[in-house]
Amino acid sequence: MSAPSAVMAQSDIRWNLPARGPVGMYCLIAAEVAIFTIFVVAYIFYIGKSLAGPQPHDVLHPPIFLTSCLLSSSLTIHIAVRFLRGGTMMSFALWWVLTMVLGAVFLAGTIREWRHLIYEDGLTIQTNLFGTTYYSLVGLHAFHVIVGLLALGTVLAFTLRGEVRKEHAERADVLSMYWHFVDVVWVVVFLVVYVIGR
Amino acid sequence: MSIESVAGPIPHTAMLPPLVEQLHSWVITVDHKRLGILYILYALVFLLVGGLEATIMRIQLIRPHNDFVSPQVFNRMFTMHGTTMIFFVVMPVMFGFANYLIPLMIGARDMAFPRLNAFSFWMTAFGGLLLYFSFVGGDGLYGAGSAPDVGWFAYAPLTSKTFSQGHSTDFWTLSLLISGFGSVGTAINIIATILCSRCNGMTLSKMPLLAWLNLTMGGLVILAVSPLTAAQLMLLIDRYLGGHFFDTQAGGSAVLWMHFFWVFGHPEVYVLVIPAFAFASEIIPVFSRKAIFGYPVMVAATICIGFIGMSVWAHHMFTVGMSSNANTFFVLSTMAIAVPTGIKIFNWLATMWGGQIHFETPMLFCIAFLFQFLIAGLTGIMQAAAPFDWQLTASYFVVAHFHYVIVGGILFTLFGAFYYWFPKMSGRMYNEALGRLHFWLFIIGFHLTFDFMHIPGVLGMPRRIYTYEPGRGWDIWNLIVTIGVFFQAAGVLIFIGNLVWSYFRGKLAGSDPWDGWTLEWSTTSPPPTYNFRAIPAVKSRRPLWDLKHPEDPDWHYE
């Protein structure tokens, strides 16, 4: 019954395999890209096909400030992970909090924009095709920002309890990959919704 | 039974824990072998359910003007049959085998993310339960329930609130959404396991073909199931939030749903068939006593199928009025996929050529697969030509074609895989005589049903009709088709009986009953929780051959 594998010839190849964390995250990002692709295709397909109600160029204003907030949060999370790798916990926590603040500002801006659209411009998800595709695509992205903030918040909670250490840098880095992805998707959404679609 | 008890160095004398504790240990397990078996058992239950639904449909169609079930029930049956067989039988069973076999074949102790693995299984399991709960809750809390009846591809505007009242369509949408999360989770796990957990020396070019093919399958799941998830989200937005994605009254497009569904739906066929190819690629060499012919070409052809398979979806839509350029593109891409598939068939034949072929049950199923998959491919090429498809689309010819793929191709190799790896999973041999009986009953039933199903299709019988007029020349063919179903059902019942009987009474299999070459045969049957006492190291694609034939190892030639 003993396994013959134990006596197998040792290979002389040097053995280096990729870490599972980044590979898993790249796969997740690929799946998310596929989901966003379908929503973006639907948005582009329906540009100018609304039969009634407000049109994009009447009500949309490019959120330049919010975009710069979200994009710079990619830089701050990168710096945060670098500090974690170096073991400077205080700086790590500060840059991590800054990332979360930038993400939260972005979300607050989206809430304000939606509030204005709904109450001032009378555009809801039911109004027309523009409303349906706009709230779906931007909402899907906002949902990913919220998930990202919850994940970042979890790491922050562990950090404040002193349980995050230098050796967790690789894991924080995997989370930062997700955050970068959310930012890159925003670039696409911004171009499609606020540039091409207007 | 406890797995450790068979394999561990400590002799097994302790009493088995009580039943509740054993069941509990299966619910909380993160072991890839147990999750694999859970996937497989779960799929077998749904195979019986989906088969029962098919049988109900065939009894209804056995003669003209039959009134075995009402039209409404018939609509539910074909919707539930299709959805069940694709999402809750073939996909889970393929994930189950992938889960069970990949870590064993690449010399790993578990999947890369064991807890994600358990999460994915339970998502799939709850998805299936949710779908079937629609029989009780489909109409909401008042009145009797009903299952979804919109067809397995649920074309708009059938799924709109106007035409699909109550919650039956919502059950369909939500169950596919949930099981879709499970599928993507498992796909991520499969890819990460293959890329990150291979044992020492197993470079990508030394992996068993099963690992390569499942790697491709994982990639396809990620790229194909996610669009379905997106489309289901849109459908939910339409149904619950009053959106207009597929609402033609507000300028929305029903054709867009078709595109989104088939962007998932066609690659899905390759998600199902590539693991079937994987089984054939492991079983045929072992029972021909020859190494697989053209390993690198097999890998290349697989990846080629994966890529081309992503760009053929609209051949399901030749009759909706796409531009002639679009039609031409999808005709050509669909025909192109025959090339890598043909390469594979020739490679399997070349593997058998000059080999010492052992006609054991797994091999019988694989040989039948070769013939039947060839015919399925040929009718596929016929329908790839748009003008031909205009004539026969949505007829029983199409139904016969894709059942030839899914039953004649996929289910046959799947049965082969069951017989081939049953000794490894259970530690006991199956009954060979019952296995052969299953094979012959099933092959007779299969050909009675699906060969003759082409004919009423050519004669103009549309799919999804619940009855038909006599005197159109369809009667005799429908009778033969239905008779075939009973042979298939008998075969499946013998198969299940064989598994159950052999699990308790079969003779002990030992660790390597087939004189196999891949790593799963190097550990005990069933393997211990930790799979391998020491992580193996390999130097060729057939490590056990090297071990058994030190005078002539494979790595001299690879």
For the stretch B257-307, pLDDT in tens is 999 999 999 999 999 999 999 999 999 999 999 999 999 999 999 999 999
pLDDT tens figures, A4-13: 444 444 545 5
Subunit contact A128:B197, Cβ cutoff 8 A: no
> Residue A177 burial (CB < 10 Å; 0-12/13-18/19+)?
middle
The pLDDT of residue B141 is 56
Subunit contact A136:B237, Cβ cutoff 8 A: yes
CB B430 within 8 A of CB B502: yes
The verdict on A9 touching B (C-beta cutoff 8 Å) is yes
Q: Which helix (H) or strand (E) holds B139?
A: none
- Give the separation between CA A171 and CA A149, rounded to whole angstroms: 16
Helix axes B432-458 and B412-426, enclosed angle (nearest 10): 160
Give the residue carrying structure tokens 């009855």. B467
- For the record, the structure tokens of B176 come out as 């596919």
Residues of A in contact with B201 (CB under 8 A): 11, 13, 15
Could you give the C-alpha distances from B102 to A36, B6, B287, in angstroms and in order? 30, 21, 20
Buried b (16+ CB within 10 A) or exposed e, B331-370: bebbbebbebbebbbebbeebbeebeeeebbbbbbbbbbb
Helix axes B396-403 and B361-384, enclosed angle (nearest 10): 140
pLDDT tens figures, A73-90: 999 999 999 999 999 999
CB A16 within 8 A of CB B208: no
Span between the terminal Cα atoms of chain B, in Å: 41
Does A191 have pLDDT greater than 90? Answer: yes
Closest CB to A30 among B201, B222, B251? B222
Q: Binning pLDDT at 50, 70 and 90, where does residue A121 land? A: very high
pLDDT tens figures, B304-359: 999 999 999 999 999 999 999 999 999 999 999 999 999 999 999 999 999 999 99
Minimal-distance CA residue of chain A relative to B184: A31
Subunit contact B187:A133, Cβ cutoff 8 A: no
Q: Where are the alpha helices (DSSP H) in B310-411?
A: 324-336, 338-352, 361-384, 386-392, 396-403
Closest CB to A42 among B245, B251, B539? B245
Name the phi and psi angles at B395, rounded to 5: -110, 175
Residue B11 lies in a domain: no
∠ CA B180-B181-B183, rounded to 5°: 60
Could you give the C-alpha distances from B250 to A45, A51, A132, B199, B261, in angstroms and in order? 14, 6, 11, 57, 21
∠ CA B473-B475-B481, rounded to 5°: 120
The pLDDT of residue A14 is 67
Domain that holds residue B54: 26-556
3-class SS at B72?
Answer: helix
- Give the separation between CA B251 and CA A37, rounded to whole angstroms: 21
Closest CB to A28 among B188, B242, B547? B188
The verdict on A147 touching B (C-beta cutoff 8 Å) is no
How many CB pairs below 8 Å do chains A and B form together? 156
CB A23 within 8 A of CB B196: yes
Residues of A in contact with B223 (CB under 8 A): 30-31, 34
Distance of CA B395 to the CA centre of its chain: 23
Return the sign of the alpha-carbon dihedral for residues B272, B394, B161, B143.
negative
Contacts of A181 (CB under 8 A, 6+ apart): A29, A32
Residue B13 lies in a domain: no
Subunit contact A35:B196, Cβ cutoff 8 A: no
- For the record, the structure tokens of A195 come out as 């540039």
Closest CB to A3 among B113, B230, B522? B522
Minimal-distance CA residue of chain A relative to B200: A15
3-class SS at A70?
Answer: helix
* ipTM of this complex: 0.93
Strands (E) in B501-557, as ranges, are none
Minimal-distance CA residue of chain A relative to B543: A8
More confident residue, B12 or B407: B407
CB B118 within 8 A of CB B91: no
Q: In degrees to the nearest 10, what's the CA dihedral of A69, A74, A79, A85?
A: 150
Residues of A in contact with B113 (CB under 8 A): 20, 24
Residues of B in contact with A45 (CB under 8 A): 253, 256
Is the CATH code 3.40.50.2300 the one for domain A64-198? Answer: no
Minimal-distance CA residue of chain B relative to A23: B192
3-class SS at B428?
Answer: strand
Residues of A in contact with B225 (CB under 8 A): 31
CATH of the domain at B124: 1.20.210.10
The answer, yes or no, to whether the previous bond of B362 is cis (omega within 30 of 0) is no
- For the record, the structure tokens of B139 come out as 């109409």
The pLDDT of residue A111 is 97
Could you give the C-alpha distances from B487 to B133, B449, B510, in angstroms and in order? 30, 9, 33
Subunit contact B260:A46, Cβ cutoff 8 A: no
Give the residue carrying structure tokens 């199956």. B430
Subunit contact A126:B242, Cβ cutoff 8 A: yes
**H helices then E strands: how many in chain B?**
19, 0
pTM for the whole structure: 0.94
CB B228 within 8 A of CB B264: yes
3-class SS at A141?
Answer: helix
CA atoms within 13 A on the CB side of A83: 16
Percentage of chain B beyond pLDDT 70 is 96
3-class SS at B94?
Answer: helix
What is the overall mean pLDDT for chain A? 93
Residues of A in contact with B252 (CB under 8 A): 46, 129, 132
Closest CB to B243 among A24, A45, A136? A136
Our CA-based measurement puts residue B76 at a distance from the nearest CA of chain A, in whole angstroms, of 29
Residue B421 lies in a domain: yes
Closest CB to A51 among B116, B238, B251? B251
- Give the separation between CA A99 and CA A74, rounded to whole angstroms: 8
Subunit contact A50:B196, Cβ cutoff 8 A: no
Residues of A in contact with B197 (CB under 8 A): 17, 20
Subunit contact A5:B242, Cβ cutoff 8 A: no
pLDDT tens figures, A34-78: 999 999 999 999 999 999 989 999 999 999 999 999 999 999 999
Subunit contact A38:B200, Cβ cutoff 8 A: no
Our CA-based measurement puts residue B512 at a distance from the nearest CA of chain A, in whole angstroms, of 10
Rg of chain A over CA atoms, in angstroms?
22
CB B23: neighbour CB atoms within 10 A? 10
Subunit contact A24:B192, Cβ cutoff 8 A: yes
Question: For residue A196, what is the DSSP state?
Answer: I
Amino acid B220 reads L
Percentage of chain B beyond pLDDT 90 is 92
Name the phi and psi angles at A162, rounded to 5: 75, 20
pLDDT tens figures, B372-413: 999 999 999 999 999 999 999 999 999 999 999 999 999 999
Residues 10-69 of A with CB under 8 A from B: 10-11, 13, 15, 17-20, 23-24, 27-28, 30-32, 34-39, 42, 45-46, 49-51
Closest CB to A18 among B196, B242, B251? B196
> Residue A161 burial (CB < 10 Å; 0-12/13-18/19+)?
exposed
Does B137 have pLDDT greater than 80? Answer: no
Q: Binning pLDDT at 50, 70 and 90, where does residue B7 land? A: very low
- For the record, the structure tokens of A78 come out as 């990168």
- For the record, the structure tokens of B312 come out as 């053929």
The pLDDT of residue B142 is 60
CA atoms within 13 A on the CB side of B306: 22
CB B184 within 8 A of CB B221: yes
- Give the separation between CA B556 and CA B558, rounded to whole angstroms: 6
Q: Average of pLDDT values for B230-248? A: 96
**Beta partners for B200?**
B537
Could you give the C-alpha distances from B557 to B205, B351, B450, B548, in angstroms and in order? 13, 17, 44, 16
- For the record, the structure tokens of B86 come out as 């694709």
Subunit contact A38:B256, Cβ cutoff 8 A: no
Our CA-based measurement puts residue A45 at a distance from the nearest CA of chain B, in whole angstroms, of 9
Minimal-distance CA residue of chain B relative to A46: B252
**Beta partners for B356?**
none
pLDDT tens figures, B444-499: 999 999 999 999 999 999 999 999 999 999 999 999 999 999 999 999 999 999 99
Subunit contact A125:B243, Cβ cutoff 8 A: yes
The pLDDT of residue B344 is 97
The pLDDT of residue B479 is 97
The pLDDT of residue A4 is 45
Domain count of the fold of chain B: 1
- Comparing C-alpha atoms, which of B512, B546, B552 is closest to residue B202? B546
pLDDT tens figures, B105-117: 999 999 999 999 9
Q: Average of pLDDT values for B30-41? A: 97
- Give the separation between CA B98 and CA B530, rounded to whole angstroms: 17
The pLDDT of residue B59 is 97
Domain range summary for chain A, segments of one domain joined by +: 64-198
The pLDDT of residue A1 is 37
Residues of A in contact with B227 (CB under 8 A): 34-35, 37-38
3-class SS at B444?
Answer: helix
- Give the separation between CA A143 and CA A93, rounded to whole angstroms: 24
**Beta partners for B395?**
B462
CB B363 within 8 A of CB B289: no
Subunit contact B191:A20, Cβ cutoff 8 A: no
Minimal-distance CA residue of chain A relative to B254: A42
The verdict on A4 touching B (C-beta cutoff 8 Å) is yes
Subunit contact B192:A35, Cβ cutoff 8 A: no
Closest CB to A3 among B195, B227, B524? B524
Residues of A in contact with B218 (CB under 8 A): 27
CB B92 within 8 A of CB B39: yes
